[in-house]
Chains A and B, each alone.
Chain A
Amino acid sequence: MMTSFFNNLLRLRRGPWEMVASILIAIGVVMMMQPFVLALFSYSFIVTLVGTVMFIIVSHFPE
Chain B
Amino acid sequence: MANSPADKLAQATPPGIANRVRGLSDRAIAWIFVGPSIFLLLAVNIFPLIWTINLSFTNFKANRNREVDYIGLRNYERILTDEDTWITMQATAHFLISTIVIQVLIGFTLAYLINKKFKGNDLWTTIIVLPMMLSPAVVGNFWTFLYQPQIGLFNYIVAFFSGVDPSSFSMIGEVALAPWAIVIVDTWMWTPFVMLICLAGLRSIPDSIYEAAECDRASKWRQFWTITIPMVLPFLMLAVLFRGIENFKMFDLVVQLTGGGPGSTTELTSINLKREAFEKWRTGYASAYAVILFVTVFGLASIYVKALNKVKER
Q: Which residues of A contact B (CB under 8 A)?
A: 18, 21-22, 25-26, 28-29, 32-35, 38, 41-45, 48-49, 51-52, 55-56
Contact with A along B100-129 (1 / 0, CB 8 A): 000000000000000000000000000000
Q: What are 19 of the A-B contact pairs (CB < 8 Å)?
A: A21-B303, A22-B302, A22-B303, A22-B306, A25-B302, A26-B303, A28-B299, A32-B89, A32-B296, A33-B92, A33-B93, A35-B90, A38-B81, A41-B80, A41-B89, A44-B80, A45-B80, A45-B296, A48-B299
- What chain A residues lie within 8 Å of B302 (beta carbons)? 22, 25, 52, 55-56
In the bound complex, do residue B296 and residue A48 qualify as a contact, i.e. CB atoms below 8 Å apart? yes
Given A45-B76, A45-B292, A18 and B306 touching (CB < 8 A)? Answer: yes
Give complex CA distance A33, B91 in Å.
9
Q: Which 8 A-B pairs have the closest CB atoms?
A: A33-B93, A52-B299, A25-B299, A22-B303, A42-B80, A41-B86, A35-B90, A55-B302
Closest CB in chain B relative to A49 CB, distance in Å: 5
- What chain B residues lie within 8 Å of A38 (beta carbons)? 81, 83, 86
In the bound complex, do residue A33 and residue B89 qualify as a contact, i.e. CB atoms below 8 Å apart? yes
Give complex CA distance A21, B295 in Å.
13
- What chain A residues lie within 8 Å of B92 (beta carbons)? 33
- What chain B residues lie within 8 Å of A56 (beta carbons)? 302
- What chain A residues lie within 8 Å of B176 (beta carbons)? none
Number of interface residues of B (CB under 8 A): 18
Which residue, B81, B89, B92, B296, has most C-beta atoms of chain A within 10 A?
B296
Q: Which residues of B contact A (CB under 8 A)?
A: 76, 80-81, 83, 86, 89-90, 92-93, 292, 295-296, 298-300, 302-303, 306
Give complex CA distance A11, B176 in Å.
52
Q: Which of B90, B93, B295 contacts A45 (CB 8 A)?
A: B295
Nearest to A51 among chain B residues (CB) is B299
Closest CB in chain A relative to B89 CB, distance in Å: 5
In the bound complex, do residue B81 and residue A48 qualify as a contact, i.e. CB atoms below 8 Å apart? no
Closest CB in chain B relative to A19 CB, distance in Å: 9
Which residue, A21, A28, A33, A55, has most C-beta atoms of chain B within 10 A?
A33
Which residue, A18, A43, A45, A51, has most C-beta atoms of chain B within 10 A?
A45
- What chain A residues lie within 8 Å of B298 (beta carbons)? 52
In the bound complex, do residue A25 and residue B303 qualify as a contact, i.e. CB atoms below 8 Å apart? yes
Closest CB in chain B relative to A57 CB, distance in Å: 12
Closest CB in chain A relative to B109 CB, distance in Å: 27
- What chain A residues lie within 8 Å of B81 (beta carbons)? 38, 42
Closest CB in chain A relative to B88 CB, distance in Å: 10
Given A33-B89, A38-B81, A41-B86, A55 and B303 touching (CB < 8 A)? Answer: yes
- What chain A residues lie within 8 Å of B89 (beta carbons)? 32-33, 41
Closest CB in chain A relative to B256 CB, distance in Å: 24
Nearest to B92 among chain A residues (CB) is A33
Give complex CA distance A29, B299 in Å.
9
- What chain A residues lie within 8 Å of B296 (beta carbons)? 28-29, 32, 45, 48
Q: Which of A22, A33, A48 contacts B295 (CB 8 A)?
A: A48
Nearest to B87 among chain A residues (CB) is A35
- What chain B residues lie within 8 Å of A33 (beta carbons)? 89-90, 92-93
- What chain B residues lie within 8 Å of A44 (beta carbons)? 80
Give complex CA distance A55, B292 in Å.
17
- What chain B residues lie within 8 Å of A55 (beta carbons)? 299, 302-303
Which residue, B83, B89, B303, has most C-beta atoms of chain A within 10 A?
B303
